[in-house]
Amino acid sequence: MPSSLELVRVPLLQDNYAWLLHDPAAGETLAVDPGEAEPVLTAADARNWAIGQVWNTHKHGDHVGGNRAVKAATGCTITGPAGEAAQIPGIDRTASDGDVLALGNARAKVIAVPGHTDGQIAFHFADDAIVFTGDSLFIMGCGRLFEGTPEQMRRSLQALAALPGETRICCGHEYTLGNARFAAAAEPDNAAITARLAEVEALRAAGEATVPGTVAEELATNPFVRARDTDSFARLRAWKDRF
């Protein structure tokens, strides 16, 4: 079933993405992880969309830095992870694993994805095949372990990788080229990775984004998703940290 929601990727800061999601039937708009306000507000205004909600995946400034300015401009309600509520500027309500959030007629399930931070969450719109992953699952990569353990992050990635293959992964950064180069080093005999690296190089050379990707693509080409156990994952993450 085609998605009824309109999705817009908003580049900001150095390599971040915020996201706008609009329910045309209800006339409601959501902003996810507005690291700065102006690009998000400009993108919404260009479409005559009124932002009614902000959802944050985690507490880092490049994902929440625009919260208060967006709220001042729109009067929106801000939702963030319960475990990091004290670090979410302007927060009005919290969300935890298993909660269901609403955007107009659409519903999103909250998935706990600790690892990058202890309290990070993702938002999965099952009917529209969209998941906002913040800095947990990236295209062909994953976030650094600033607070969590390899076991936590691997479990988080496995939860996201278990979503339907057509699910679009809307992550928080344009890191795919570096991730693809690492993936090619980690799995030099993986033809799918070799092909995808070439695609990513062409996109970036043309100034095009590589996000979103799909769960099916990650199952074939993301070495962190494909790691057979926690020890293998931990070795990959340590290698990527110095790659």
Plot region of 98 (φ>0 → left; ψ -120 to 50 → alpha; else → beta): left
pTM: 0.96
Q: Is the pLDDT of residue 86 over 80?
A: yes
Give the DSSP per-residue string, 142-193.
E---SSS-HHHHHHHHHHHHTS-TT-EEEESB--HHHHHHHHHHH-TT-HHH
Catalytic residue of the set 22, 23, 33, 58 = 58
Q: Is the pLDDT of residue 211 over 80?
A: yes
Residue 220 in domain: no
92 noted as active-site residue? no
Backbone angles phi and psi of 77, in degrees to 5:
-100, 135
Residue 201 in domain: no
As a whole number of angstroms, the distance between CA 69 and CA 16 comes to 18
Note whether 31 and 19 are within 8 A (CB): yes
Catalytic residue of the set 135, 189, 229, 241 = 135
60 noted as active-site residue? yes
Catalytic residue of the set 33, 60, 124, 128 = 60
As a whole number of angstroms, the distance between CA 33 and CA 61 comes to 9
Q: What pLDDT, in 10s, does the model give residues 14-56?
A: 999 999 999 999 999 999 999 999 999 999 999 999 999 999 9
- How many Cβ atoms are within 10 Å of 224's Cβ, its own excluded? 26
Q: What pLDDT, in 10s, does the model give residues 127-143?
A: 999 999 999 999 999 99
As a whole number of angstroms, the distance between CA 52 and CA 36 comes to 17
Q: What pLDDT, in 10s, does the model give residues 151-170?
A: 999 999 999 999 999 999 99
Residue 100 in domain: yes
Q: Which residues are bridge partners to 90 per DSSP?
A: none
**Which of 18, 14, 6, 10 lies closest to 172 in space, CA to CA?**
18
Note whether 145 and 115 are within 8 A (CB): yes
Q: Is the pLDDT of residue 2 over 90?
A: no
DSSP 200: H
Residue 241 in domain: no
124 noted as active-site residue? no
Note whether 153 and 147 are within 8 A (CB): no
Average pLDDT for 60-67: 97
Q: How many structural domains is the chain composed of?
A: 1
Average pLDDT for 98-126: 97
Residue 191 in domain: no
Looking at residue 1, its pLDDT comes to 40
Residue 17 in domain: yes
Looking at residue 64, its pLDDT comes to 98
Residue 200 in domain: no
Give me the sign of the Cα torsion angle 98, 162, 113, 76: negative
Spacing of C-alpha 76 from chain mean position: 21
pLDDT averaged over the chain? 96
Residue 126 in domain: yes
231 noted as active-site residue? no
Domain that holds residue 64: 6-174
Plot region of 134 (φ>0 → left; ψ -120 to 50 → alpha; else → beta): left
Q: What is the CATH number of the domain that holds 16?
A: 3.60.15.10
62 noted as active-site residue? yes
Looking at residue 3, its pLDDT comes to 60
As a whole number of angstroms, the distance between CA 144 and CA 142 comes to 7
